[in-house]
């Protein structure tokens, strides 16, 4: 069985004090959810602090973006090596806000994925279609294209330590959650794509769902075939709602 993931994407939220309080809250409850991998994806300004605070707690930390070079004249950018140095184990690449608000291309995402793996970080690769793409019936094609850009640049082994998150753009931050059959189908597209890369990898890789995950829908989402966890934006800002979601995932896996 694939170990489930509960990942928080705090986006551009939380000062050092707020982030530290959150981590202390997770620490106090982590023993209730031993079978879930908890990953907190924070802004680079707080990562060092919270990763040092959480030493040996079992909580894992991630950044939300990185550059593809390890150093150089790239004002304002942060490299994979710097993130690793701050205590991050993970980095989100290809989040739809990066793709659509900051015009990152599939090729940019592929370069970031590759650089992250090369530096020793574990990528959380986000893929997903816009509303227009869904309505025009091109969801599978879009997911395939986004994945293909990454596998064209990296070896299959680069995915050994990665997770993939299916995040339909129209469900992110909108309060609208994708329907069960839409999620099952998209996760199937991703797993089938990975089968073409490597059968064993396709069996082992964890595929998360993200898009308006809340305590009230977490159980329903984790029960969908092929969903190995969640990537949570808005509802991860409150310790109570994030831990309720994590608890729901844990209970599902307790039931076997």
Residues that bind ligand PEP (CB under 6 A): 9, 167, 172-173, 210-213, 231-235
Q: Cα dist. 214→2, 176, 233, 238, 247 in Å? A: 22, 11, 9, 11, 12
Of 141, 56, 63, 48, the closest CA to residue 95 belongs to 63
Residues labelled catalytic: 95, 167
Tokens of 183: 């999620």
Q: Cβ closer to ligand PEP: 9 or 81?
A: 9
| Region of 128 on the Ramachandran plot (φ > 0 left; ψ -120 to 50 alpha; else beta) | left
Tokens of 245: 């979601």
Report the nearest approach of ligand PEP to the CB of residue 194 (Å). 21
Q: Cβ closer to ligand PEP: 19 or 213?
A: 213
Q: Cβ closer to ligand PEP: 202 or 235?
A: 235
Running DSSP on this structure, what letter comes out for residue 225? T
Taking the alpha carbons at both ends of the chain, their separation in whole angstroms is 9
Per DSSP, the residues of 26-78 read HHHHGGG-TTSEEEEE--HHHHHHHHHHTTTSS-EEEES---SSSSSS-TT--
**Rounded Cα gap, residues 183 and 177, in angstroms:** 9
Report the nearest approach of ligand PEP to the CB of residue 73 (Å). 30
Q: Cβ closer to ligand PEP: 205 or 232?
A: 232
SS3 of residue 6 by DSSP: strand
Report the nearest approach of ligand PEP to the CB of residue 212 (Å). 4
**Rounded Cα gap, residues 110 and 135, in angstroms:** 26
Report the nearest approach of ligand PEP to the CB of residue 209 (Å). 9
Report the nearest approach of ligand PEP to the CB of residue 38 (Å). 15
Residue found by looking up tokens 């990942």 in the block: 7
Q: Cβ closer to ligand PEP: 163 or 172?
A: 172
Q: Cβ closer to ligand PEP: 210 or 229?
A: 210
Report the nearest approach of ligand PEP to the CB of residue 234 (Å). 3
**Rounded Cα gap, residues 128 and 168, in angstroms:** 4
């Amino acid at each position: 069985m694939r170990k489930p993931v509960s990942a928080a994407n705090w986006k551009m939220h939380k000062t050092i004090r707020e982030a530290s309080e959150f981590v202390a809250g997770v620490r106090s409850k982590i023993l209730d959810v031993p079978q879930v991998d908890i990953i907190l994806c924070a802004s680079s300004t707080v990562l060092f602090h919270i990763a040092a605070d959480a030493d040996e707690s079992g909580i894992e930390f991630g950044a939300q973006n990185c550059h593809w070079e390890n150093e150089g004249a790239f004002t304002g950018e942060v490299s994979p090596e710097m993130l690793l140095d701050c205590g991050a184990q993970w980095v989100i690449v290809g989040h739809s806000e990066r793709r659509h608000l900051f015009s990152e291309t599939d090729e940019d995402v592929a370069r970031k994925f590759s650089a992250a793996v090369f530096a020793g970080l574990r990528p959380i690769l986000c893929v997903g279609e816009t509303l227009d793409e869904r309505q025009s019936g091109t969801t599978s094609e879009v997911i395939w294209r986004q994945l293909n850009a990454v596998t064209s640049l990296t070896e299959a082994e680069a995915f050994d330590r990665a997770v993939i998150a299916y995040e339909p753009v129209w469900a992110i931050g909108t309060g609208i959650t994708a329907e069960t059959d839409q999620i099952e189908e998209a996760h199937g597209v991703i797993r089938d794509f990975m089968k073409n890369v490597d059968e064993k990898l396709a069996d082992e890789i964890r595929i998360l769902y993200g898009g308006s995950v809340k305590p009230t829908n977490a159980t329903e989402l984790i029960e969908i075939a092929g969903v190995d966890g969640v990537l949570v934006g808005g509802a991860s800002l409150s310790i109570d709602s994030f831990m309720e979601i994590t608890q729901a995932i844990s209970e599902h896996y307790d039931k076997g």
